[in-house]
Amino acid sequence: MGISEQVDQAILQTPAHQIRDRVDALEQEWSDSRWVEAHAAAVGLLTLGAARFLNPRVALVPSTLGKLLLAHAVQGFYPLLPVFHWLGARPRAEIDRQRYGLEQRLHPRDPVHLNNSGRRHGDRFDRVRRRTAPEVNQAIDLKIEASLEKMRGAAPIDIRARLAELEKEWDIDQVIQSKTAALVNLGLALGGRNRRGYMLAGLGFASLLSHALTGWSPPLPILRRLGFRTRREIDREKFALLAML
């Protein structure tokens, strides 16, 4: 299935002179996952403070948030997701589908252009890429290009197999959310014996809030060097592959 079949016809009919501005606006749109991270981190920090200085029973709230973060990373579940969606938040994959649909309007079935455009916009708008060392970003870009080159001229069944792999790949947000959940639960377990243990849980929530707002968190350099990609980077390869079908 080509990209033109993945996007609404209304998107494809957008006048060409408006496309680039619309693409820039889409790149700056907060995904629902980013809203989840910001909400969980802010509420977690507030309730941890209350548990530390007021009533230990309030620790039930950050404990629940830790479990919900893990559920969101693994299953995509978070109780307030319907509210975020009602307010207009969308999954990053949906935003990228519209974004690459607009690019497809300008350059039909051109995987090289889609990949290069995705990299350029990622350097400008992807908060994680902007907080990653240039040589690490370059290494990730080279892997994407090598993967696309390998698929060039491949049979549709092979391309679809690669697309299935990309759909299962964990992005950097999922990894950081799961690590935050582990750190929060450990801190709260220690806090049951000594309230100073809440500081460890607080560190997890503070790290998550920094990631949501700025793209940086303490484990980011290591995770990026291990090859974990942003959803934008995964989608860049995905939509370039779709253009080959």
Cβ-contact 220, 141 below 8 angstroms: no
Mean pLDDT within 218-234: 96
CB atoms under 10 Å from CB of 17, counted, come to: 7
What pLDDT score was predicted for residue 7? 46
* DSSP secondary structure letters along 218-238: TTHHHHHHTT---HHHHHHHH
Helix (H) or strand (E) holding 131: none
Q: How many domains in the chain?
A: 1
Q: Between 116 and 176, whose confidence is greater?
A: 176
Amino acid at 137: N
Res 13: pLDDT = 61
How close are the terminal C-alpha atoms of the chain, in Å?
6
Nearest to residue 240, comparing CAs of 88, 110, 63, 149? 110
pLDDT, one tens digit per residue, over 22-73 is 888 888 999 999 999 999 999 999 999 888 888 888 889 999 999 999 999 9
Domain that includes residue 33, residue range? 3-242
pLDDT score of 9: 55
Global pTM value: 0.89
Residue 60: alpha-carbon gap to chain centroid: 27
Q: Is the pLDDT of residue 129 over 70?
A: yes
